[in-house]
């Protein structure tokens, strides 16, 4: 089979060279974007008088037929035609004859593929944002049910202070809200049309780039044709945003894995998001959470791969840039799958409130409350810190907790302590009193939840 670009060449490449050169195995995912870009381009060519009305109508009809075949999976893509663009042009010529060869007038594969990827990411980013919202909705549902469920808060993975479990969950809501905003902002760079930039220098045909951009729903065009065909910043930005999002999911996954362990028993994962062992009958493994945690590596890798590909490339297009697509596709599929899994995991997880209550009543996470109590009575905080530290040491030596100390024992440490201290040491009281804006106090957590609901409703 002769190449569509083969006029210059007297010898065809060997089959294994074709296979190495071809990208059709993965860029066929751009089939609909490529066809839509072609329809817009041909429509513009017709309106500009570059193609006759008859030619325009014939080509658009042929492209419509290819769209139907593509939707039905009836296009036999071939590595001999290298990529999605040459495959579709080959099919078009087969469908409507040599007039199909006029499809490529006034454009290059360089601006064509860039247009396809802008269209692809524009759609996928919107879908990813919807999936982020679904995870946030699941978080909000669980948070609404557990405002007054008290859980140990941690720093360094050591018990720190008691918190509302809803407060802990809502931290992830706000992480995802930043992720949503980053994707939103990235649309300014994605929603730009390179179509009509040609190979690198534009074209001598009197095309109307603004019109083709309008037909494709782009808000603007690239101002420089060389930049238009060589820019992959918008993909790098997407990969960076995706890396941030899946990093947040991985952190949450790690906590869910820990919480569901026998040692913690704070939550139980639904059977639908767990698996068993082939040898140990008792096992219930949090495999879906572990997979999300593990998939961060491939998403991060895709980002660094493209950064490395582009770092030394001269302008404008180079074949190296064929390596921009597989990582982009993989990241889209990986992130979307992870978000879908996460929404289900959070929505169906069972929070073990009794176990959480036991946990916060059997630790020293109320030590800061006692220090604050003494400071509020006039003792300098550093001195209060030392007094409480010594009381904690006494408790550790006696294998008891602060609430188990007698009033006499406490007053020996500081005469400022009175009966009120036992109320102060209650975990629920410790949480309720933290009413600083953004704190874990119950009313503050409810304020957060209301603000979050407003965001989702908007």
Among 64, 219, 277, 443, which one carries the catalytic annotation? Answer: 277
Whether 357 is catalytic is no
- Which among 189, 239, 238 has a CA at the least distance from the CA of 218? 189
**Phi, psi torsion values for 193, nearest 5 degrees:** -95, 125
Report d(CA 202, CA 62) in Å as an integer. 26
Among 2, 10, 156, 406, which one carries the catalytic annotation? Answer: 156
Report d(CA 264, CA 258) in Å as an integer. 7
Whether 230 is catalytic is no
Catalytic machinery residues: 156, 277
């Amino acid at each position: 089979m002769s190449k569509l670009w083969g006029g210059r060449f007297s010898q065809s490449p060997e089959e294994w060279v074709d296979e190495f050169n071809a990208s059709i195995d993965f860029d066929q995912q751009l089939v609909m974007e490529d066809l839509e870009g072609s329809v817009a381009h041909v429509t513009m060519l017709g309106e500009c008088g570059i193609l006759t009305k008859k030619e325009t109508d014939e080509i658009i009809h042929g492209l419509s037929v290819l769209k139907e075949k593509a939707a039905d999976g009836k296009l036999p893509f071939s590595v001999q035609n290298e990529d999605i663009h040459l495959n579709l042009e080959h099919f078009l010529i087969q469908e409507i004859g040599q007039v199909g060869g006029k499809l490529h007038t006034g454009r290059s594969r360089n601006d064509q593929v860039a247009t396809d990827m802008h269209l692809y990411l524009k759609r996928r980013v919107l879908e990813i944002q919807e999936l982020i919202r679904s995870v946030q909705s699941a978080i909000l549902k669980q948070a609404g049910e557990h405002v007054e469920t008290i859980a140990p808060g941690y720093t360094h993975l050591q018990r720190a202070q008691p918190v509302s479990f809803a407060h802990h969950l809502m931290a992830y809501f706000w992480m995802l809200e930043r992720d949503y905003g980053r994707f939103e902002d990235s649309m300014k760079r994605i929603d730009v049309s390179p179509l009509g930039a040609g190979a690198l220098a534009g074209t001598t045909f009197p095309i109307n780039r603004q019109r083709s951009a309008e037909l494709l729903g782009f808000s603007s065009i690239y101002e420089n044709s060389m930049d238009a065909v060589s820019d992959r910043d918008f993909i790098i930005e997407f990969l960076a945003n995706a890396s941030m999002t899946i990093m947040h999911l991985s952190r949450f996954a790690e906590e869910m894995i820990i919480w569901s362990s026998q040692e913690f028993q704070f939550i139980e994962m639904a059977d639908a998001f767990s698996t068993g062992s082939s040898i140990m009958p008792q096992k219930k493994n949090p495999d879906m959470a572990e997979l999300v945690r593990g998939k961060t590596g491939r998403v991060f890798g895709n980002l660094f791969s493209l950064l490395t590909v582009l770092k030394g490339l001269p302008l404008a297009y180079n074949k190296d840039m064929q390596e921009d697509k597989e990582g982009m596709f993989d990241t889209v599929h990986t992130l979307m799958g992870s978000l879908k899994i996460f929404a289900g995991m959070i929505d169906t997880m069972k929070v073990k409130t009794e176990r959480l209550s036991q946990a916060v009543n059997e630790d020293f996470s109320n030590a800061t409350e006692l220090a604050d109590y003494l400071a509020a009575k006039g003792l300098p905080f550093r001195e209060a810190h030392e007094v409480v530290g010594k009381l904690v040491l006494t408790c550790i030596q006696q294998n008891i907790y602060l609430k188990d100390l007698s009033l006499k024992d406490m007053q020996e440490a500081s005469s400022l302590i009175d009966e009120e201290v036992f109320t102060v040491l209650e975990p629920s009281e410790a949480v309720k009193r933290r009413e600083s804006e953004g704190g874990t106090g119950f009313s503050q957590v409810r304020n957060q939840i209301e603000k979050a609901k407003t965001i989702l409703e908007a």
